[in-house]
Amino acid sequence: MSPISAPDGSSSPARPANSPAGGSAVSPDGGPPRPRPEADRSEPHASGPDPSEPHASEPDPSGPDPSGPDPSGPDIPEQSTRDLAAQFEDEKPGRALSGPAGLLLTTAALAIGALALWQVFRPLSQGSKYYLIIFLAGVLPLVFLAYPADLRLPARLRARRPPASTRPTVTDWVLVVLAVAACLYPVLPIRIGSGGGGYNAFLDRQGLLAPTDLVLGTVLLLLLLEACRRTTGWILPAVCLLFLGYGYYGGLLPQSWPVAHAGLDFSQLVDAFYNSDSGFYGTPLDVAASYIVLFTIYGAVLELSGAGRFFVELSAAAFRRSRTAAGRTAVASGFLLGTVSGSGAATTVSIGAVTWPLLRRAGYPPERAGGMLAAAGVGAILSPPTLGAAAFIIAEYLGVSYLQVLGWATVPTVLYYLGILLAVEIDARRSGVRPVVIDVGSPWRLLARFGYHFASLIAIIVFLALGVSATRAVVFAIVLTVALSFLAPRNGRAPRNGRAPRNEDRAHRLTPGRLVTALVSGVRGVLAVTAVCAAAGIITATTTKTGLGPQAAALLIGGAQAVTSDPTLVLVLTALLAAVALTLLGLAVPVTASFVIGWVIVGPALLDLGVTAPAAAMFVFYFAVLSEVSPPTALAAVAAAAVTGGRLVPTMWQTLRYALPAYLTPIAFVITPAGLGLLGIGGVQRIAFAAAVTALSVAVLAVAAGGWLPGVGPAGAPERVLGALAGVTLLWLEPVPVTVGAALAAVAAAGVFVRRGSAGRSSSGSPANPVEEQL
């Protein structure tokens, strides 16, 4: 892993470049992550030397902590971190291509990246759908080159299979050719039987497909399902087939059933997928081709400029002298890296590789540290200015600017990290965490030398505020990052731990060769999400054709009305049922697909009950994201456990405890009009009231979950139950519930004070806790 240069010449590992949509990291040469030996995957950091950066030491005169090895060992290779991150992304790791296949992928990726950049300023005259057809024709074949079939073979054949083939097979090349043919067919000016004839002729046949259209549309359908299987596993293709089966066989359902419809024949379904604006070339693919690919390129450029390493180093420097320096550094690193990465699992691995040695020396058990890392990493998908891919889909679905979506996400993001920081402080008091001194320089010196890395992030917000489109804003940010990369100061200090000094300006200058690497990395990172977004057209088109959205909404509302007829309670129950459904859905499919499915199924139910579109969309978005920390899958928690070597299930539950406020806060978006204040809607007074009350709710819930009131002492079971009730009640942002919740919180706090006094009197006159434990 490449080191981060500190003011004193020390170093820290870097974050891999990841796509906002959760794209897999890529190797420095533009290829995919190289597979790690199986023996190296179970507990990559549970034993052996720690990374040497940032250097940590304890002020304890008795010597270093015996619980962990000395952190002066060799660096963990950067590629190992990237490989580990790729294992826990929404998509699977791919091949490391070389030779002709690698050259083809690099050339095609450069062409796709150049087309995406060109489209921002000189859109193709044939329209956006024409561009999407060309974009998919370039990306889909690369999926079959970059991602192996990875099918389980019978035991008698498994021994004959090469253990780690990096070359595409004959089948892969056949699928590449079929993908090019099926994708380019709509625009080829060649007559093929009664079909073909060019783009306009293809559009004119909408609703009346020729046999050739039907055949190639079916081929593209199967290719997209296979691409999703290769990149994300079996579940998303199975969900798509379930919707396809519903569209075809739904007419056989009893017409008295709420979800029954008239039925569609196969040609109607293929027409909806292949030749309509709601199918393969619908909004999800438009978002991938217009926004996500540019932001992945931006993330790769920012990473190669050294920004990721600077963010981690700045986090360590900011808290280097605090009692909870290790925990605060992990949380702050997750937030800062989250501003440029929309990937929860990759951010978890990146911050874990740096901060886990510090957390271990501070005395954190592996499971608790893993929970903290996973919760902080998932915040990457929630943190402006680079949210997950679903945020761009929100902007397109609602017809609003991306800046508005960023505004909606700002207060909830602050509240999310507030809850994690409070949990860190509580854990430090409750668990007796030891102080750890992080041997880095002043944060002000770091900002003076490397603070220019914030410039492009700020520039995106400024451009958006000036009315510049999100696509142009990110291109301008890329250009700014490239220019500023030549400002990196030289590191002429003496070597540390035997390492030779490096010239930081040479290491991070974005020369033409490094720009090519960033461009290829960005396009490579969008391959999987493009397959997911195109396949999502199966879901959206089927829902549109059959009317499933309103039918499912009526079914969901009817279930709530069967329990109560009170409109307010019906809304609450519907929101709770929707939250459960979205969480379960997110366990099975990637965040982007989870949002698309949730929006077409759950969104109409919330809208029918009077919830505003922004609140409904952000509700669905947050629960789609939180699937990454939800047991029993919890990709971010699995990644954290791999870093710390902790037990998997306890790590998941610790993650859930850290992220608990995030599960409850979205409920406030929809159950009361005042909840719109959390999205920055409704004026200063509403926003301030909603933010203050919800912050109190988050704090009370953190105390209830952690069992400790900072500055006072431990909370017993009665106080924790009262605190949990108070926190939930406060989320109902109306005067009476807020008053009741505040009173319950006060009673719980008073109970902790009484418990502390009783413990003090029973301890023979000595305080139950040292003074330093209460600060």
| Alpha-carbon separation of residue 422 from 276, 379, 393, 428, 676 (angstroms) | 49, 15, 32, 10, 24
Among 603, 730, 742, residue whose Cα is nearest residue 678: 730
| Structure token digits, residue 156 | 């008698």
Question: Are 145 and 176 in contact, with CB atoms under 8 Å apart?
Answer: yes
Question: What's the CA gap between 274 and 287, in Å, rounded?
Answer: 18
Question: What's the CA gap between 204 and 197, in Å, rounded?
Answer: 11
Residue 718 amino acid letter: P
Over residues 542-571, the pLDDT tens digits come to: 988 888 888 888 888 888 888 888 888 899
Predicted local distance difference test score (pLDDT) of residue 382: 79
Q: Where are the beta strands (DSSP E) in 394-451?
A: 437-439
Question: What's the CA gap between 770 and 775, in Å, rounded?
Answer: 9
Predicted local distance difference test score (pLDDT) of residue 490: 54
Question: What's the CA gap between 359 and 197, in Å, rounded?
Answer: 64
Question: What's the CA gap between 307 and 566, in Å, rounded?
Answer: 53
Q: What is the dihedral of CA 354, 357, 359, 362, to 10 degrees?
A: -140
Phi and psi dihedrals of 563, rounded to 5?
-90, -40
Question: Are 509 and 306 in contact, with CB atoms under 8 Å apart?
Answer: no
| Alpha-carbon separation of residue 569 from 220, 562, 672, 727 (angstroms) | 46, 11, 11, 19
Element (H, E) at 250: none
Predicted local distance difference test score (pLDDT) of residue 65: 39
pLDDT < 50: residue spans in the chain: 1-77, 153-164, 491-505, 763-775
Among 592, 622, 587, 628, residue whose Cα is nearest residue 606: 622
pTM of this structure = 0.77
Question: What's the CA gap between 105 and 138, in Å, rounded?
Answer: 10
| Alpha-carbon separation of residue 372 from 50, 565, 658, 701 (angstroms) | 19, 41, 6, 16
Which residue has 């001194």 as its token pair?
A: 437
Question: What's the CA gap between 3 and 313, in Å, rounded?
Answer: 10
Instruction: Identify whether 66 is preceded by a cis peptide bond (ω within 30 of 0).
Output: no
Predicted local distance difference test score (pLDDT) of residue 178: 95
β-bridge partners, 195? 192
125-157 CB burial, b ≥16 within 10 A, e <16: eeeebbbbbbbbbbbbbbbbbbbbeeeeeeeee
Report the alpha-carbon angle 391-394-397, nearest 5. Answer: 155
Instruction: Count Cβ atoms below 10 Å from residue 473 Cβ, excluding itself.
Output: 26
